[in-house]
Structure 1
Amino acid sequence: MPRDQLINQSKQAFVQALLRLLETESFTDITIKQLVLESGYSRRTYYRYFHDKDAILDTLFTQRLQAYHDRLSHIDLAPAQLPAQIITALWPHHQELQLLAQRDVLVPLMTRHLETIIKSLLTIDVSWRQSTTQNTTNYRYALTYSIGGFTILLNTLFTQPKTSITPEQLTTQLTMALSEIVTQWQLQNDHATTNNNQR
């Protein structure tokens, strides 16, 4: 087996071990010894790829973000389709997200990688995004706001007791949240334009 495949296989073993342990343990209580036993790999292998448990979550995050980016890069994406596409991409992993939310690591994970998410999304070519410096700054603000809001929405929904939410319900919630963001953004832009015209 090629070396890069062996490395990926080792990392994946620790990712899956962490997810299994999170089903019964809090993130802070999980030990390296447990991860080593659960993964079937040695402590030495653990330290070869990870400096702490957060690094295992970072590996999982990077994999999911790359898959999400690849998916959005290969479709003709209109603004109205964003909520459905986001949920469609995330839903196969909703049990992971729910587990991370219930163990209080979803929000810190997303916050830690917010800049990476924004950079990744800004590389996706969409016809409706104008590429001026001012617009890029505005898009960054809008993405920061919407990603933060969506993360809190997911965290809230997935930490409620006995939550049984469908992709359609989540899409509706996200659509309403994004619509509110767009409305507020347009109001701010209109206000700024009016102020500039009055000067």
Structure 2
Amino acid sequence: MNGQERLAEQSRAWLTEALFVLLQQENYNEITVKKIAEQAQLSRRTFYRSFKNKDELLNYCSDQLIQKYLNQLKNLKIQKMNFEQVLTVFFEFWWSEREKVRALIKQNLFILLLAKITPQASKLYQEFKAPWHIDGSLNEIEYIMNFSVGGFWNVLNTWLAKPNPEQPQVMVETLLKSLKKLSQN
């Protein structure tokens, strides 16, 4: 990566930070490109070098969060993990990003992440081949992944929307306990 590419990447990072700061302070509809650029201490011209508008920046931010999570999953030896360990990774990752997620939830923008990750879920499912995954047709796998991702996303949305969310390990224990009860019925 050359110097100009590094500078552009740093500018995008500052713009991303600025957007999340502003999301915690005011309504997304009232946030302007000018406000984002000022918060990032960059010019509007610098903003427009990377993004057409604030919606494109928001999409970029969502993509970055999703990619960061997916990269973390890809780095795991998931075939050797049990379901409890996967839940722990899930909750600890999103706990580490909770301020961003909470800002998105507060603005009713969190659904963007769900819309972005759902199509990728089936591909990941096939790639990981974890021991608890079902065997089946692509259609069956797509349905189970959409069901799973939707459920996890709703739990995540409910959990991090709370003023004082539980610690990640409490969430893991709660989900394991609940899933065990469901499987016994």
Is TM (by shorter chain) over 0.5? yes
**1:144 alignment partner, one of 143, 146, 153:** 146
Larger radius of gyration: 1
8 Å Cα contact 1:65-1:117 kept in structure 2: no
Q: How does 1:1-199 map to 2 (within 5 A)?
A: 2-77=3-78, 78-107=82-111, 109-118=112-121, 121-122=124-125, 124-128=127-131, 134-160=136-162, 162-175=163-176
Return 5+ residue gaps in structure 1 as ranges.
185-199
- Going from structure 1 to structure 2, the CA distance change for 1:76 and 1:4 (only over 3 Å counts) comes to same
What TM-score do the two structures reach when normalised by structure 2? 0.80
- Of 36-45 and 77-86, deviating more is 77-86
Q: By how many angstroms is 1:116 displaced?
A: 4.3
Aligned to 1:188: none
Residue 141 of structure 1 aligns to which amino acid in structure 2? Y
Residue 32 of structure 1 aligns to which amino acid in structure 2? V
- Going from structure 1 to structure 2, the CA distance change for 1:130 and 1:123 (only over 3 Å counts) comes to closer
Q: Secondary structure at the match of 2:26?
A: coil
- Of 25-34 and 170-179, deviating more is 170-179
Query: Percent of counterpart pairs with the same letter?
Result: 23
What TM-score do the two structures reach when normalised by structure 1? 0.75
Q: By how many angstroms is 1:20 displaced?
A: 0.7
Deviations, residues 142-162 of structure 1 (Å, cap 9, x unaligned):
1211222222222223333x3
Structure 1 CA distance, aligned partners of 2:138 and 2:93?
A: 24
- Going from structure 1 to structure 2, the CA distance change for 1:64 and 1:110 (only over 3 Å counts) comes to closer
Return 5+ residue gaps in structure 2 as ranges.
none
Structure 1 CA distance, aligned partners of 2:102 and 2:152?
A: 14
8 Å Cα contact 1:69-1:124 kept in structure 2: no
Deviations, residues 31-52 of structure 1 (Å, cap 9, x unaligned):
1111111112222222222223
8 Å Cα contact 2:122-2:141 kept in structure 1: no
Deviations, residues 87-122 of structure 1 (Å, cap 9, x unaligned):
122221112112211221112x12431344325623
Q: By how many angstroms is 1:177 displaced?
A: 6.6
Q: By how many angstroms is 1:131 displaced?
A: 9.6
Residue 114 of structure 1 aligns to which amino acid in structure 2? I
8 Å Cα contact 1:14-1:39 kept in structure 2: yes
Residue 112 of structure 1 aligns to which amino acid in structure 2? A
Task: Note the aligned Cα RMSD (angstroms).
Answer: 2.9
Structure 2 CA distance, aligned partners of 1:181 and 1:106?
A: 28
The size of the alignment, in residue pairs, is 181
